[in-house]
């Protein structure tokens, strides 16, 4: 892929770069994105209908099982070339912040360190009542495991629709978006707030905004550069074009 020279020159000199990623970045690792069509076991449910406190209150076992199924799927999955390219970028740019909506842990596995997990991490489990984290919840397939401390129902440490994002992560993400010279929006449909607003915060503060996505999104008309294709292919090519 040919990248515009002005973008390459800008990235060679850039010292502050922020990146927002979404489910599309993990698609080439074999994980489904959120808004694609589902098949198989969970085909009758929309993820949006399962990822909410109301759904958990209505049928905790259904929600626990859906996350257990996703957790198992993630265990066999490895980062792809896009994740590794972003970890490489972090080494080259002095202030590099990777903000992700993904809960799959693949950025960290690929070596990214300055990482803000805005929507939590599916591999962590906490009590829905007292908030205590646990790494040991047994494997009783009959019922939702309970908190060892208060007997509350355990739940995944992810942010559900209608819940607040972790405050420290969100504040750091807003700060990094406002302060950066270049902002990337990669593999996200850009329809879920407040993450979707970060690109606009960057743009309003003078950053050059770059989108990498399989297809156009509502953000596309607002960006300075848009590249349509797979992030696992475009990102390594971009890193090569900048740093050889």
| List of residues contacting ligand APR (CB under 6 A) | 22-24, 27-28, 33-35, 47-48, 51, 101, 119, 187-189, 192, 213-215, 217, 230-232
Pick the closer one to ligand APR by CB: 149 or 228: 228
Pick the closer one to ligand APR by CB: 147 or 230: 230
Pick the closer one to ligand APR by CB: 102 or 146: 102
**Whose structure tokens read 């698609």?**
27
Minimum Å gap between C-beta 75 and ligand APR is 19
Minimum Å gap between C-beta 144 and ligand APR is 21
Pick the closer one to ligand APR by CB: 72 or 215: 215
Pick the closer one to ligand APR by CB: 181 or 231: 231
Minimum Å gap between C-beta 136 and ligand APR is 26
Q: Which residue is nearest to ligand APR (CB)?
A: 24
Minimum Å gap between C-beta 204 and ligand APR is 21
Minimum Å gap between C-beta 160 and ligand APR is 8
Residue 187 backbone class (left: φ over 0; alpha: ψ -120 to 50; beta: rest) = left
What is the C-alpha to C-alpha distance for residues 62 and 55, in angstroms, rounded to an integer?
9
The catalytic residue among 83, 107, 119, 228 is: 119
Indicate if 119 belongs to the active site: yes
So which residues are the catalytic ones? 119
């Amino acid at each position: 892929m040919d990248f515009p020279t002005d973008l390459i020159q800008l990235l060679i000199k850039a010292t502050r770069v922020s990146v927002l990623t979404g489910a599309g970045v993990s698609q080439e690792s074999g994980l489904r994105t959120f808004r694609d069509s589902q098949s198989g076991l969970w085909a009758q449910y929309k993820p949006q209908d399962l990822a909410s406190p109301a759904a958990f209150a209505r049928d905790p076992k259904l929600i626990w099982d859906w996350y257990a199924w996703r957790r198992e799927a993630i265990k066999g999955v490895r980062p792809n070339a896009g994740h590794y390219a972003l970890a490489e970028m972090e080494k080259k740019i002095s202030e590099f912040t990777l903000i992700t909506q993904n809960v799959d842990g693949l950025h960290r596995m690929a070596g990214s360190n300055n990482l803000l997990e805005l929507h939590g991490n599916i591999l962590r489990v906490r009590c829905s009542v007292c908030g205590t984290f646990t790494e040991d919840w047994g494997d009783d397939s009959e019922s939702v495991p309970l908190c060892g401390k208060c007997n509350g129902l355990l739940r995944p440490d992810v942010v559900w629709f209608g819940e607040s994002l972790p405050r420290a992560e969100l504040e750091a993400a807003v700060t990094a978006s406002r302060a950066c010279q270049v902002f990337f929006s990669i593999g996200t449909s850009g329809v879920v707030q407040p993450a979707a607003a970060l690109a606009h915060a960057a743009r309003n503060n003078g950053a050059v905004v770059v989108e990498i996505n399989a297809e156009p999104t509502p953000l596309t008309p607002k960006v300075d550069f848009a590249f349509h294709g797979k992030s696992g292919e475009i990102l390594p090519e971009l890193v090569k074009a900048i740093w050889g």
